Amino acid sequence: MKQKLYEYKDEQNWFIGQCSKENSSTYYQAEAEKNYALLEQNLRSLLGEGSALMLTVVKIASGMALVQFLLDIINNEQQHNYKASSHKGAILVTEEDRLVLVCLPKEGLAVSEFFGEADGNLTALGDSILIATRNEGKTQEFSQMFSKLGMTVENLNQYPELPEVEETGLTFEENARLKAETISKLTGKMVLADDSGLQVDILGGLPGVWSARFSGPDATDQKNNAKLLHELAMVFELKDRSAHFHTTLVVAAPDKESLVVEADWPGYIGMEPKGSNGFGYDPLFIVGESGKTAAELSAQEKNDISHRGQAVKKLMEVFPAWQKAH
């Protein structure tokens, strides 16, 4: 069946186009290609799979006229309802209430001009996520992760007026949800919170959610480690000192079901502290069957295999789809 031939012609513009299943080509009049080729290539991204376009630009004076012509072809051939409008020198393509394409002029546009921002501050644009922590080290870890998704990261130090959320939950997920969902409601922002801890099998999962305050209200890493060794003083076989670190990450946003991911890092509790890297229970936690404690690993080694590192990898796998879902 022969494909329909499309044509648009006025005093300054003349285009001829045809959809094809096999060939894709464009012919331009002299000098037109360098000014309009990028615009046309952007529009081709809206073509469905298996569709090609043969285009002849006999003469052209208006990029908007070319966009309207190409959208007419795509709408007719593929039952879309794309519309074009101009904004500050750019061409926006929409379908119903969705923005599907932004075609910028070849030389680009000033941020302040396009968005109406007086200071043209790029960090004020795009998606951001608030990490429910005041720990700058942890914030930096998440910044590296979310920068790959084009997102900026904030933490609670930028919101000193926010109250401290008490971790009154009995599970890691309950505590992470409390932090993420409470702060999201207070700020209207997307918020990520985590809750992590050590669980020792022979102690029935303790210290668990009380890992940070295991030795009491004035707990320190040293006191917590000393208490753990005391609790295991009569457990002499390493195989009976099995344990794992656990992390739960929760991402909350207004009017969305929260996203939850979890990860565990198995190992054993050693007889004495070893290593000077890490923090918390790292000097006592023997990683799997390696014989090394977490405090004897480099930061990179730990990040690659730890409970938090694994949880972050899981989060990155599911976060983009969750973010797009309504």
Give the Cα separation of 193 and 180 in Å (integer). Answer: 5
With contact defined as beta carbons under 8 Å apart, do 66 and 57 qualify? yes
Q: What is the pLDDT of residues 27-62, one digit of tens each?
A: 887 677 777 888 888 888 888 777 888 899 998 888
Give the Cα separation of 138 and 133 in Å (integer). Answer: 8
In the chain, the percentage of residues whose pLDDT exceeds 70 is 95
Give the pLDDT band (50/70/90) at residue 2.
low
Provide the pLDDT for residue 300. 81
Give the pLDDT band (50/70/90) at residue 71.
very high
Candidates 195, 218, 221, 240; catalytic one: 195
Task: Specify the amino acid at residue 64.
Answer: M
Q: What is the pLDDT of residues 246-292, one digit of tens each?
A: 999 999 999 899 999 999 999 999 999 999 988 899 999 999 999 99
CATH says 126-324 is which class?
Answer: alpha beta
**Over the chain, what is the mean pLDDT?**
88
For residue 314, is pLDDT > 60?
A: yes
Q: What is the pLDDT of residues 72-117, one digit of tens each?
A: 999 998 889 999 888 878 888 999 888 999 988 878 888 777 776 5
Taking Cα atoms as reference points, which of 231, 230, 226, 225 lies closest to residue 205? Answer: 231
Cα-based torsion angle of the residue sequence 64, 68, 74, 75 in order, rounded to the nearest 10 degrees: 140
Which residue's entry shows tokens 């405090």? 295
Provide the pLDDT for residue 129. 92
Give the pLDDT band (50/70/90) at residue 242.
very high
Provide the pLDDT for residue 121. 52
Give the Cα separation of 128 and 202 in Å (integer). Answer: 42
Give the pLDDT band (50/70/90) at residue 326.
low
| Residue 195 annotated among the catalytic residues of the structure | yes
For residue 124, is pLDDT > 60?
A: no
Least confident residue range of 59-68, 136-145, 205-214: 136-145
Question: Which tokens go with 303?
Answer: 């990040």
Q: What is the pLDDT of residues 136-193, one digit of tens each?
A: 877 887 887 777 776 789 999 999 999 999 889 999 999 999 999 999 999 999 999 9
More confident residue, 201 or 145: 201
Task: Specify the amino acid at residue 36.
Answer: Y
Burial grade of 315 (CB within 10 A; 0-12, 13-18, 19 or more): buried
The size of the chain, in residues, is 326
With contact defined as beta carbons under 8 Å apart, do 262 and 173 qualify? yes
The whole-model pTM stands at 0.65
Sheet containing 82-87, strands listed edge to edge, beginning at the edge strand earlier in sequence: 82-87, 90-95, 98-103
List, as one string, the DSSP characters of 1-27.
-PPPEEEEE-SS-EEEEEEESS--EEE
- All structural domains of the chain with their residue ranges: 5-118, 126-324
Provide the pLDDT for residue 277. 87
